[in-house]
Each structure stands twice: as C-alpha cells, then as structure tokens.
C-alpha cells in the first residue's frame, strides 16, 4: 500500500485536490480523516484538515484485476503470485485442479487473459506496463521443452552440416529460438513463411547464401495461365 497525507482547509477541498494531482477516481483510493482541523477567527488560530490517503500498489491492483477477470469466466483458482523482473510483472495463477480451460488450445485462452490484463492495468495506471501471465508454470514447461528440442536440432546441424527447418511457431516462441541460437557463433537462424505462425531455419554460420540460392525464382503469372503470343512480323 502507498500512504500519503495531505492538508487543506476542508475535507472536500483536500480530496478534490488529491484526485486532481494524481488523476484518480474515488474508487482508486481510500482515505481517513486524521484531523478535522478547525476554523480560526478572522484568519487567526485556524488549523488545517489532515487526511491520510491509501492507494493499492501495482501488484495489488494486478491481483485485483486478475481475480475479477477469472471470476467472470466462472473458474476457481487457489492463488495468484506476482514477481517483478526487468520491469516485467510475471503473474502466475495456481489453478484449483485442471488448468486446461485457463490455458486453452495452443495457449490461446491464456494469451487472451494476458492481453486483457495488460489493457486493464495500463488503462488504470495510465502508463505502459508489461504483464506476462502463466497458469501452473505452463509457459516455463513449454519453454524448457522447446529449448531442449532446439539444443538437439542445433547439434544435428553442426554434425551434419545441413540446415533444419522447425515446425511453425508463434512469434514469442520464435524469439526464444533466435535468442538461444544467437549465443552459438557457429550457427544462424532464418525465418520463412507467412502469417502468424512462421518457421525458423537453423543453419551453419555463412550458409544463408546457400539457402537463398535454392529458392525458386519468381515467375510472372498471366490470367489465362499462358504467356501472350508475340505479334507476327510483317
């Protein structure tokens, strides 16, 4: 909790000034009148009103928003744990049994929850914060499994000297692959394909030109699938 004390000539004035200064609404904070103060006579002997304001910190607000969002989809959870690292808020939800619904197919439900929470907290805080949401450590397990697979592929590429193309991956997983491979100076990565799910090619350093040279050249297509005939010469 963040606690702030303010003074002014009346309770209403202190609260109004506080809301304007911090750009808050009434539901964003709690307050307690510490000293009601008193009016002086002809401007003498007066005492200002003192009010103590308490505001939940960002982590408490994230927990509040997460609890509210989860309750709206009628799912019971055990706990919400929040850690901060490199200015990123990692929100881990502990499920009350089967986490499958909260995760969803290909983690789409989990990604939707993460997206909504980011929007909610950024709108409330009026600044750009970054939240990463997980359920029962699902993302970490998937990341570990992906890295183990990349390690195996990397060793095969170095042993065989041939590039290997991975299955289509989401952008977040492609970044994990790129960051891991770039640590090895003997290897490089390329991204191929279109759409949200693209493929990552892992290859030996300096082999990019070989990959590019194997691509089929672009051929112009015609509506009738046949090239136009040349005009007969007179």
The CA angle 48-50-54, to the nearest 5 degrees, is 160
Q: Element (H or E) spanning 92, and its range? A: strand 88-95
Kindly indicate whether the domain formed by 59-136 is annotated with CATH number 3.30.365.10: no
Lowest-confidence pick of 4-8, 37-41, 52-56: 37-41
Q: What is the DSSP letter of 169?
A: B
DSSP 124-162: HHTS--EEEEEETTHHHHHHHHHHHHHHHHHHHHHHH--
Give me the pLDDT at residue 213, please.
46
Q: What is the DSSP letter of 24?
A: -
Q: Which of 26-30, 79-83, 203-207 has the highest mean pLDDT?
A: 79-83
Cα dihedral 64→69→75→81 (10° resolution)? -40
Residues 198-209: tens digit of each pLDDT:
999 999 998 765
**pLDDT band, residue 225 (cuts 50/70/90):** very low
Superfamily of domain 141-213: R3H-like domain (3.30.1370.50)
- pTM (two decimals): 0.63
Contact between residue 204 and residue 161 where contact means Cβ atoms under 8 Å apart: yes
Give me the pLDDT at residue 228, please.
53
CB neighbours (10 Å) of residue 81? 12
Give me the pLDDT at residue 82, please.
93
Give the pLDDT mean for 130-150.
95
Give the pLDDT mean for 9-36.
87
Assess whether pLDDT exceeds 90 at residue 135.
yes
Mean pLDDT of all residues in the chain?
85
Question: Higher model confidence: residue 54 or residue 181?
Answer: 181
Nearest CA-CA partner of 181 in 172, 190, 169, 192? 190
Give me the pLDDT at residue 42, please.
58
CB neighbours (10 Å) of residue 223? 5
What are the residue boundaries of the structural domains of the chain, listed by start?
2-55, 59-136, 141-213
Residues 146-164: tens digit of each pLDDT:
999 999 999 999 999 999 9
Q: What is the DSSP letter of 185?
A: T
Lowest-confidence pick of 76-85, 161-170, 172-181, 219-228: 219-228
Intrachain domains 59-136 and 141-213 with the same fold = no
Q: Element (H or E) spanning 109, and its range? A: helix 108-125
């Amino acid at each position: 909790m963040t606690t702030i004390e303010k003074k002014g000539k009346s309770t209403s004035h202190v609260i109004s000034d506080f809301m304007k200064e911090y750009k808050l609404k009434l539901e964003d904070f709690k307050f307690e009148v510490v000293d009601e103060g008193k009016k002086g006579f002809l401007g003498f002997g007066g005492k200002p009103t003192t009010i103590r304001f308490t505001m939940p910190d960002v982590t408490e607000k994230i927990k509040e928003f997460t609890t509210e969002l989860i309750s709206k989809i009628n799912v019971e959870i055990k706990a919400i744990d929040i850690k901060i690292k490199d200015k990123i808020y990692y929100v881990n939800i502990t499920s009350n049994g089967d986490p499958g619904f909260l995760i969803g197919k290909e983690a789409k439900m989990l990604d939707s929850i993460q997206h909504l929470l980011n929007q909610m907290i950024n709108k409330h805080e009026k600044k750009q914060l970054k939240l990463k949401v997980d359920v029962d450590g699902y993302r970490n397990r998937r990341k570990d499994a992906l890295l183990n697979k990349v390690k195996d592929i990397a060793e095969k590429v170095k042993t065989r000297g041939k590039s290997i193309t991975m299955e289509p991956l989401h952008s977040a997983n492609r970044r994990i692959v790129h960051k891991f491979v770039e640590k090895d100076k003997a290897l490089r990565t390329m991204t191929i394909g279109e759409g949200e799910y693209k493929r990552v090619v892992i290859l030996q350093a300096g082999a990019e030109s070989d990959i590019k040279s194997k691509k089929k050249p672009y051929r112009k297509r015609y509506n009738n699938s046949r090239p136009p005939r040349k005009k007969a010469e007179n």
